[in-house]
Structure formats: structure tokens, C-alpha cells
Amino acid sequence: MSSGTIVVLTTAPNTGEAETLACRIVEAKLAACVQVLPAMRSFYFWENQIQTDAEHLLLIKTLAEKFDELEKFIQNNHSYDVPEIVALAAQRVSESYLGWIENYVRNEN
């Protein structure tokens, strides 16, 4: 099933920040699920040189309509000056999973 579901990627420098961010995003109903992946190595260009750091990847499952609010939330609650915030459209999502996401992020209770 085609949908307005997106997966937003962001990273965090350590487990504590990643888990706190994940929990706060779900509590704020900006996503129905956030997965925190184990530590990985990131190589990136910053301050005129190539950097490398351990990071945790967060996979944030939400609706496209929540992206702007989620983006602002991440920017305001992240320790990085320029956090990664990349949304990937989910081309197909099962009806039951999509229903679960919609029910949670749109529910006002």
C-alpha cells in the first residue's frame, strides 16, 4: 500500500542521548516508533577536515505531515550544531502497520 509514511534518519553521539531523543519523540507523538541502532563509525567533512566519530543511528517511523514539527524538535533537542535529519519516503507499507502509525501520531489522547 502506498502511503505518506516516512522514515527519518538522525544520529546521536552516544546511547544516552539517542535513547532520550527516541523516547521524547515518541512521547510527543511525532513518531509511532523510533529504533536506536548499535554504535557505528561515521566519516564526515566538518570544520575543513574529515572527521570520524562513533554514533548511533535512529530510524524514526512517522507520517510526512509530521516532518516539519519533527525536524524542529530534533534541532531544538539535539547536541549537534547541524544534526542529520533526512526523510525517506516509504514507497509501500502494510495496511495494518500504516494504520497503527496513523492512529498513534494523529490521536489527540
- Are residues 78 and 10 in contact, defined by beta-carbon separation less than 8 angstroms? yes
Mind listing the pLDDT tens digit of every residue in the chain (109 residues)? 456 999 999 999 999 999 999 999 999 999 999 999 999 999 999 999 999 999 999 999 999 999 999 999 999 999 999 999 999 999 999 999 999 999 999 986 5
Model pLDDT for residues 37-53, shown as the tens digit of each residue? 999 999 999 999 999 99
Per CATH, the number for 5-106 is 3.30.70.120
pLDDT at 13: 97
pLDDT at 109: 57
pLDDT at 1: 47
Amino acid at 52: T
pLDDT at 63: 97
In the chain, where the domains are located: 5-106
What phi and psi, each to the nearest 5 degrees, are found at residue 45? -95, 125
- Are residues 83 and 77 in contact, defined by beta-carbon separation less than 8 angstroms? no
pLDDT at 108: 63
Helix/strand/coil percentages in the chain, nearest 5: 35, 35, 30
What phi and psi, each to the nearest 5 degrees, are found at residue 19? -70, -40
SS3 43: strand
Locate 33 and state its grid cell: 516508533
Please state the pTM of the whole predicted model: 0.93
SS3 6: strand
